Amino acid sequence: MATANKNLSFYDKNKIPNAKSLRFGIVVSEWNDEITEGLYNGAERALLDCGAISENIIRWNVPGSFELTFGCKKMITTTNVDAVIAIGSVIQGETKHFDFVCSGVTQGIKDLNVKFDTPVIFCVLTDNTMQQAIDRSGGKHGNKGAEAAIAAIKMVTLGK
């Protein structure tokens, strides 16, 4: 397991560029909100810890993870953000719906990264169980939201 020996919340602040002058969009799925709220809180804390100003963090909600792609596209095209973080949680069920949602949102976010010059960070948990999602949204494996925030800062400053 990729996260078995890693804390998703860990970063060395001395190696992260200061985010004071950057604007971030965060698009959050309302589905599995107990997980996505934890991820959002982790992302927001990490951005603020790295110098981002709270007024420069814009949050939009969408109904589910499948809708993240459209929400991120609208945020890129209608607001002035330097990066967007897409936050969602899809948990395996009894049908193939899980596979279609995971594939759709993954490909959609990839397509946004190809089409636009604004990085879109994939912070969508695709877990087999609710416990796995809990463990990665502030539980024993840390918080994937914090990891996504650090990736957003690094991607905005890539090549600068």
Length of the chain equals 160
Of these residues, 6, 97, 115, 140, which one is catalytic?
97
Question: How far is Cα 36 from Cα 28, in angstroms, rounded to an integer?
Answer: 7
Dump strand ranges (E) for 5-107: 24-29, 57-62, 83-91
Please answer whether residues 47 and 19 qualify as being in contact, where contact means their C-beta atoms are separated by less than 8 angstroms: yes
One-character DSSP codes across 102-146: HHHHHHHHHHHHHH-SS-EEEEEEEESSHHHHHHHEEETTEEHHH
Please answer whether residues 110 and 72 qualify as being in contact, where contact means their C-beta atoms are separated by less than 8 angstroms: no
Catalytic site includes residue 141: no
Question: How far is Cα 45 from Cα 47, in angstroms, rounded to an integer?
Answer: 6
In sequence order, the 6+-apart residues with CB closer than 8 A to the CB of 113 are: 119, 120
Q: Any idea which residues carry the catalytic annotation?
A: 97
